[in-house]
Amino acid sequence: MATPSTPPGDGSQKGFDRIAIPTPDGQTRSLTKTEFENLPLSERVKLLMGGGLQFFRGDKPITAREALRGA
Amino acid sequence: MPARDIEAAAAAIVERSQERFRTYRQEVFKDTDRLFAYLMMGQWLFGIALALTLSPYAWEGKVKTTHAHVWAAAVLGGLLSSLPIALAFLRPGWVVTRHVIAFAQMLWSALLIHLTGGRIETHFHVFGSLGFLTAYRDWPVLITATLVVAAEHLIRGLLWPESVYGITNPEWWRFLEHAFWVAFANSFLAVICVRGVKDLRIMAERSAELEALSEGEWRKSSVLDRAEPVAVAAGV
């Protein structure tokens, strides 16, 4: 999984606002939290297992665990 | 990581999530069944105390006898409470258990209303009970309760209006007015039930997402662990 280029959030806020998903053609697809949550669970699970997702709170990258724990 | 492996692992995680969701719901049903069992016991004692306080004795000529209300509270109340209590402890979480509890709870409202001579304030027991039944997070239970209270008000209103409204000549459609307010309360309580179930599903899915994350990390680290000795052996 990609390491955030800036330090992760301090945990005082919860959840994430946006997620960047790498696509097979090397591009990234950006989804809001609601769009991500509306994906079928099986698809979310496969994306999370595949790794490479980047979560954002505002413009700040955060770790996947921090994003999901506070979601 | 082979796509087939990911598919199989993802399917297993989703299945565990669904199982977790079913377990959460069953826990809610069982906990609420137990709460109602204690409420049924409490209502029985309360009904008897109420009858003893309001109308302990009647007179047949010069003979002082126990009033029929006391027997109604003790015997009828016992019958009303016994099946729900038995089901709550013997078959907790069963769909029939919560519908029997809803049925009995509404009949408890009827009995308490009767014991207080159709006192309007006792009708609040109906609304309190609907709130308690919402703890199941299962809206069909509210439908059962509503049908029972509407039918009971209709029948008793026609046969013994004083017992339910405290007056002898209410309009025949009075039960509809009561049923309307029950439906009014239910319209909101049903939404709370649906949201409650959604919350349980979100909890189960969140666990699945964290599990998927850990599984992905573990698989990645396993690949790296296997790759390291090969790289060392190859002098890389």
Give the one of A41, A51, A68 whose C-beta lies nearest to B216's C-beta: A51
Q: How many CA atoms lie within 13 A of B128 on its CB side?
A: 11
Total count of domains within chain B: 1
Helices and strands, number each (H, E), in chain A? 3, 4
Domain count, chain A: 1
Burial class (CB in 10 A: 0-12, 13-18, 19+), B35: middle
Closest chain A residue to B221 measured between Cα atoms?
A: A1
Residue at token pair 């307010």: B181
In total, the C-beta contacts within 8 angstroms joining chain A to chain B are: 53
**Domain annotation covers residue B235:** no
In a domain? residue B227: no
In a domain, B98, yes or no: yes
Q: If you write DSSP's letter for every residue of B168-236 in order, what string do you get?
A: S---TTHHHHHHHHHHHHHHHHHHHHHHHHHHHHHHHHHHHHHHHHHHHHHHHHHHHHHHHHHHHHTT-
On whether the CB atoms of residues A49 and B212 are closer than 8 A, the answer is: yes
CB contact under 8 A, B212 and A42: no
Reported as type and span, the H/E element at residue B24 is helix B3-54
Mutating which of A41, A47, A62, A66 best tests the B interface, going by the most B Cβ atoms within 10 A?
A41
The range of the structural domain enclosing residue A52 comes to 18-69
Q: Give the residue ranges of chain B where pLDDT is below 70.
A: 1-2, 56-64, 223-236
Nearest to B224 by CA among A53, A48, A1: A1
Chain B: residues touching A (Cβ < 8 Å): 1, 6-7, 9-11, 13-14, 17, 205-206, 208-210, 212-213, 215-217, 219-220
Confirm or reject contact between A33 and chain B (CB < 8 A). Answer: no
Q: Is A39 on the interface with B (CB under 8 A)?
A: no
pLDDT in tens, B105-158: 999 999 999 988 888 899 999 999 999 999 999 999 999 999 999 999 999 888
Sign of the alpha-carbon torsion through B199, B200, B205, B206: positive
Residue A3 lies in a domain: no
Q: pLDDT tens, position by position, for chain A (71 residues)? A: 444 444 444 445 578 999 999 888 888 899 999 999 999 999 999 999 988 899 999 989 999 888 888 66
Structural domain including B139 reads 3-222
Q: So what's the ipTM on this one?
A: 0.73
Predicted TM-score of the model (pTM): 0.81
Residues A18/A30, Cβ–Cβ less than 8 Å: yes
Question: By CA distance, what is A64's nearest residue in B?
Answer: B213
Contacts of B9 in chain A (CB under 8 A): 49
Residue A39, in any domain of the structure? yes
Contact (Cβ atoms closer than 8 angstroms) between residue B79 and residue B104: no
Is A41's CB within 8 Å of B205's CB? yes
In a domain, A2, yes or no: no
Residue B186 lies in a domain: yes
